[in-house]
Amino acid sequence: METNSNNISQEQLEAIERYINNTMAAEEQYAFEARLSSDADFKIQFEDAKTLLLGIETQSLKEQLDKFHDDIPTRKTPYTKSPKIRYLQLRRFVAAAMIIIVAGSFWFFNQDTNEKLYTKYFVPDPGLPTTMSSSTNFEFYDAMVNYKQGDYTKAIQKWNALPAKNDTINYFIGVAHLANNNEHLAISYLEKVSSEPESYFKNDANYYLGLANLKEGDIEKAKLNFALSDNENSKALLSVLNK
């Protein structure tokens, strides 16, 4: 039987995309990875589909290279409506997954609690969608492909090479540094976003700032930043830290 990505159903393809983007709930991810380990045919399909999905993102950007001459988007004109809607949907998936992941985390109170809390709660922002992006801002979205593939160092290099920075760029550079275990640099970028009262990313920037403070062992700053975020995980972490 042929086992390439052409035989994957729409439902399976969507599941694979959720897995690649780290937007699966913990229970679904567990079942998905178990199937990857036990089903050789499915693993082949997964690898084919992964190559296809990531290839579409990269290729769609390269095909538009000659058109990418517009300025980097500003805070007041954030990309397009469709990516924002998809971004919010991804955030909901991540929030649901995070709640499931941390549900059993309250039992380990010892000297390593802060590090364990950080590990349980930290999941990199899933990033902005690139397959449906406009044909502008190639450099930004090219770096976003690297970010979504987990190559945070390359994404940071590309974003830092841009001639201008806005809150969107600073936010993703900050999260990328945090994913690279460089919380000190992450804080410097996320604080820039947190200080902008009208930033679309302000709420999530405060959440990741709290996580960076938590990893550094600065509990009081962590509490302050979690309190500035209405993220459900911020509230859960505050509940734990205030005990």
Residues 29 and 105 in one domain: no
Tell me which of 63, 83, 110 is where a domain ends. Answer: 63
Tell me which of 14, 31, 63 is where a domain ends. Answer: 63
Residues 192 and 145 in one domain: yes
Q: Which of 3-12, 93-102, 120-129, 218-227 has the highest mean pLDDT?
A: 218-227
Contact assessment for residue 171 and residue 190, using Cβ atoms and an 8 Å cutoff = yes
Q: Compute the average pLDDT of residues 17-32.
A: 84
Residues 57 and 135 in one domain: no
Residues 108 and 191 in one domain: yes
The pTM (predicted TM-score) of the whole model is 0.59
Closest CA to 121 of 188, 204, 36, 28: 204
Q: In the 3-class helix/strand/coil scheme, how is 23-40 assigned residue by residue?
A: CCCHHHHHHHHHHHHHCH
Q: In the structure, what pLDDT confidence band is assigned to residue 30 with cuts at 50, 70 and 90?
A: confident
Q: What is the pLDDT of residue 55?
A: 63
Residues 89 and 49 in one domain: no
Tens of pLDDT, residues 147-188: 999 999 999 999 999 988 899 999 999 999 999 999 999 999
Tens of pLDDT, residues 175-223: 999 999 999 999 999 999 999 999 999 999 999 999 999 999 999 999 9
Residues 51 and 83 in one domain: no
> 211: Cβ–Cβ under 8 A, 6 or more apart, which residues?
118, 121, 122, 178, 222
Tens of pLDDT, residues 33-77: 888 888 888 888 888 777 766 665 555 555 554 454 444 444 443
Domain containing 35 equals 5-63
Tens of pLDDT, residues 226-238: 999 999 999 999 9
> 64: Cβ–Cβ under 8 A, 6 or more apart, which residues?
135, 138
Q: Count the domains in the chain.
A: 2
Residues 117 and 204 in one domain: yes
